[in-house]
Chain A
Amino acid sequence: MSPAIELIAINKSFGAVHANKDVNLSVARGTIHGVVGENGAGKSTLMSILYGFYEADSGEIRVNGKPIAIRSPIDAICAGIGMVHQHFMLVEPLSVVENVMLGAEGGAMLRVGEAKVRAELARLAKDYGLEIDVDATVGDLSVGLQQRVEILKALYRGADILILDEPTAVLTPAEADALFGLLRSLKEQGKTVILITHKLREIMAITDRVSVMRRGEMVATVETANTSPPELAELMVGRRVLLRVEKDEKTPGAPLLEVDNLSVVDSRGVLRVASASFTVRAGEIVGIAGVAGNGQSELLEAIAGMRQPVLGSIRLEGKAIHSSEHNPHRMRQLGLLHVPEDRLRTGLVPAFPAFESAILGFSDEPHLGRGPILDHDRLIADLAQKMEQYDVRPPAPRLKSSKFSGGNQQKIVLAREIERNPKVLLVGQPTRGVDIGAIEFIHRRLIALRDSGVAILLVSVELDEIMNLSDRILTMCGGKITGERKASQTNEQELGLLMAGVVDEAA
């Protein structure tokens, strides 16, 4: 039987960047095939070529053994290829039926098409267990169900081959399990699934075979049963990596950050953080686990002074922070520094040269210039030194911030904050979009900082990361802190339940 998908010697360049070099990939029908690689390894480019967003410079695509030309997503859909994007392409105010119909309305009048969609959705629900309320407004659905709508859209359009791009990034562990169950039943029905991810655990859990990309090249394709996470990580990075950073047990010191009964309301008046209370001590990492969008971001921003809390108070080193000094500027002066969740939107200015991004938040520091004028030579020299220390590549302080890879941007932000000797450090998503090699480095830095007596509050949607780094773990759901555990005395299942809002019986 010919493979469902065959990519032969695919090449694609963007300017000077050779994003795909002679890439070959063969995906057998009725299997789940993982594609892993660091950011910028060329996975997304390859899938975009397969789905018709880009055209390859050279190479051949065969679907079920037949060479075809895919020039647009329409060609891909006709060839039976469907894609579920990381960021959903849904119209939130419309219903499930309307979203599925979108682009396949079948004529000027909606009634005929709608009847067809309803019948087809009922069949899909029966065949694959894809139950959903078809008249629900998509915006009201949970993220897991929204993803289900995306899958339904693809299946409705006759997809035999389903590409999923980082599908679990926004899901709770339980939702991810449900997704995996669904993918297995799709496989049993003879569908082919291509799963793009950087989570090795998922690859091991669900795929039949896995292909590894590195720097635009396909470096290996192996049977999942014959490999291991360390081996895959080594293939991805090209050298041995530690997936777990070693750290010693330490007894934390005095409380440096105390948050008491903090409530935060967003710009639309929705309550985002509800009466959060906790303490972070010197020499301790407290991790906040939770599915993205459950108030963690707002909590960090409120502590940093970027948002005014509606209720509650915080204390730094035992001293209450008055609301008049609760702003980012003053908090920095008091030793509370902040590595924000979103590097590109918040942590640096993409259009600025790196040395200017490297003083964001600190441009008033007297030693950075004379009077009102900044000393550029000095800024450049400062950053050059930090770049060497943090192994930022390329070590070019004048290069535009947006030109660095995610990992290197993150190192620039970390260097800026850490090298200013914080007392308390807020860290949001320190390794989102960061290569495995750099993750190891960043984790080591954070542990070293903790060992030197800094109080660290860590927010991450990567449960592995939280469990790896934290001494204590708080879980958040719907703006509430739903539980607190010692990292050494809990497990993923328990945290998963707390993250899903199951009430903590121990509390």
Chain B
Amino acid sequence: MSAPLDLPKWADTILVPAISVVAAFLVAGLVVLAIGENPLTATRWLLLGSLGTGEGLGFTLFYMTDFIFVGLAVAVAYHAGLFNIGGEGQATLAGFGIALVLNNLTFLPGFLLIPLGILGAAAFGALWAAIPGYLQAKRGSHIVITTIMFNWLASVLLVYLLVNVLREPQSMNPETRAFPDASHIPYMHDVFAAFGIEIPNSQLNLTLVLALAASYCVWLLIYRSRLGYAIRVVGSNPSAAVYAGISPARIIIIAMVISGALAGGLAVNELMGYQHRLLLEFTSGYGFVGIAVALMGRAHPVGIILASLLFGILYQGGAELAFEQPAITRDMVVVIGGIIILFAGALDGLFRRLVAHLFARQKLARA
């Protein structure tokens, strides 16, 4: 028997991840030191760049919006016992769905076009996730393998579509024409301006509100609804699910559909909120960040929001850092991000065990 891994809830959800982050920063600091830079200045630039200015904060929250969606996507599948690595591909297809809706229904007003665009994203993301879900449920093909393959398929499919089908004839760029103006999700600075409040311009748009609403809905779904109950039974005890008359195959497909639809949120934020056209590689690998976000957030919406904020800081602050201290390149920032993912995800159990041990000892001393 190993040491009991029971922790008070606050320690489990806040203390352990915090220790992981601190440890990650310490190790990252050593890396920075090793290339001859001062880790303290680096940290200063990182935080200043992401939180220190209104503009920086806007960008941080913009990235956070992306990460919340992909984090939730991974989490919902995770509760059904599935490891959805395919957020990247699902978001890519969602982008295609958006372009199909927006560029074909140009005559509609914004209040119809925007929801339809979002639905298009959700539907295409869901479809792209449903296929691996079906293969897992009915054919036993491992979801990790199939979702990875579907990432490649999505990426190649998008190249084909943009080069051969969707590209504007006179354009040299592999991208669609711009979406109609009515379909743009309003920028946050414009929204605030409408109320007479001035905030710095950034890519941040109202999709953030949608992400927070989605977080609440996912919480309600997973922890309070009958469907979420069935999802969690399948994820944590498949034979109990069979006993209970819950069909694991059905739940696996449903969970993947929801997961894929949520991954579509990444495309909504990037395309409808900022780029306003469909272009190559708009997902920038954020689909994979979702895995780290979900792991770090313990697959709970609140944890995912906090982890998304952290990764938002890292992405925005990292960009500033690479700009201010050229010795620390973009690649270096990726390394630091990797270290954090390593500590928060893979090594999470290490600190959990340690903290649990300390708690047990303390309890014993008091007894």
Contacts and interface: CB of A to CB of B under 8 A. Distances in A.
A360 B239 contact: no
Contacts of A374: 224-226, 229
A345 B225 contact: no
Contact of A15 (B4, B226, B229, B244): B4
A376 interface: yes
Given A14-B1, A364-B226, A328 B237 contact: no
Interface string B1-17: 10110100000000000
B244 A361 contact: yes
A403 to B, nearest CB: 9
Nearest to B4: A15
B244 A363 contact: yes
A332 B245 CA distance: 9
Interface string A45-59: 000000000100000
Contacts of A16: 360, 363-364, 367
Interface in B48-76: none
Contacts of B153: none
Contact of B240 (A304, A329, A348): A348
B239 A346 contact: yes
A327 B247 CA distance: 10
Interface in A1-27: 13-16
Contact of B242 (A328, A347, A351, A376): A328
B227 A360 contact: no
Contacts of A345: 237, 239-240
B240 A15 contact: no
Contacts of B224: 373-374, 376
A406 interface: no
B243 A346 contact: yes
A181 to B, nearest CB: 34
Q: Is the interface of B mostly helix, strand, loop or mixed?
A: helix
Given A15-B360, A345-B237, A349-B237, A360 B1 contact: no
Contacts of A361: 243-245
Contacts of B3: 14-15
Contacts of B233: 349, 352, 360
Contacts of A356: 229
Interface in A321-344: 327-330, 332, 338, 340, 342
Interface in B218-244: 220, 224-227, 229-230, 232-233, 236-237, 239-240, 242-244
A351 B236 contact: yes
Nearest to A364: B226
B251 to A, nearest CB: 12
A501 interface: no
Contacts of B245: 305, 327-330, 332, 361
A252 interface: no
Residue of A14, A360, A376 contacting most chain B CB atoms (<10 Å): A360
Nearest to B366: A16
Nearest to A361: B244
A480 B232 CA distance: 37
Contacts of A372: 225-227
Query: Which of A13, A15, A348: most chain B CB closer than 10 A?
Result: A15
A377 B243 CA distance: 25
A338 B367 CA distance: 42
Interface residues of A, number: 35
A444 B3 CA distance: 38
A243 interface: no
A336 to B, nearest CB: 12
Contacts of A340: 243
Nearest to A343: B240
Contacts of A342: 239
A346 B240 CA distance: 4
Nearest to B221: A372
Contact of A338 (B227, B229, B243): B243
Contacts of B229: 356, 359, 363, 374
A169 interface: no
Nearest to B233: A349
Best-buried of B4, B224, B226, B236 by chain A (most CB within 10 Å) = B226
Contact of B232 (A352, A369, A373): A352
A40 interface: no
Contact of B4 (A14, A305, A327): A14
A347 B1 contact: no
A373 B242 contact: no
A337 to B, nearest CB: 11
A347 B240 contact: yes
A306 B242 contact: yes
The winner among B225, B239, B244, B367 for most chain A CB atoms within 10 A is B244
A484 B367 CA distance: 56
B237 A350 contact: yes
A365 B227 CA distance: 13
Interface string B338-367: 000000000000000000000010011001
A483 B4 CA distance: 47
A369 B244 CA distance: 18
Contacts of B227: 372
Interface string B241-265: 0111100000000000000000000
Nearest to A13: B364
Contacts of A328: 242-245
Contacts of A363: 226, 229-230, 244
Contacts of B226: 363-364, 369, 372-374
Nearest to B230: A363
Contacts of B239: 342, 345-346
Contacts of A376: 224
B222 to A, nearest CB: 12
Contacts of B237: 345-346, 349-351
A54 B360 CA distance: 17
In this complex, which of A54, A305, A328, A350 has the most chain B Cβ atoms within 10 angstroms of its Cβ? Answer: A328
Contacts of A13: 364
Interface string A292-336: 000000000000111000000000000000000001111010000
A351 B6 CA distance: 12
Given A15-B6, A345-B239, A349-B237, A373 B220 contact: yes
A322 B274 CA distance: 57
Nearest to A57: B364
Contacts of B364: 13, 15-16
A408 to B, nearest CB: 18
A347 B225 CA distance: 21
Contacts of A306: 242-243
Contacts of B4: 14-15
Nearest to A304: B243
Given A306-B242, A349-B233, A351-B237, 5 more contacts: A16-B367, A332-B245, A346-B240, A349-B240, A352-B233
Closest 7 CB pairs of A and B: A329-B245, A328-B245, A361-B244, A15-B360, A15-B4, A346-B243, A349-B237
9 contacts: A14-B1, A328-B242, A330-B245, A345-B237, A346-B240, A349-B240, A360-B240, A360-B243, A361-B243
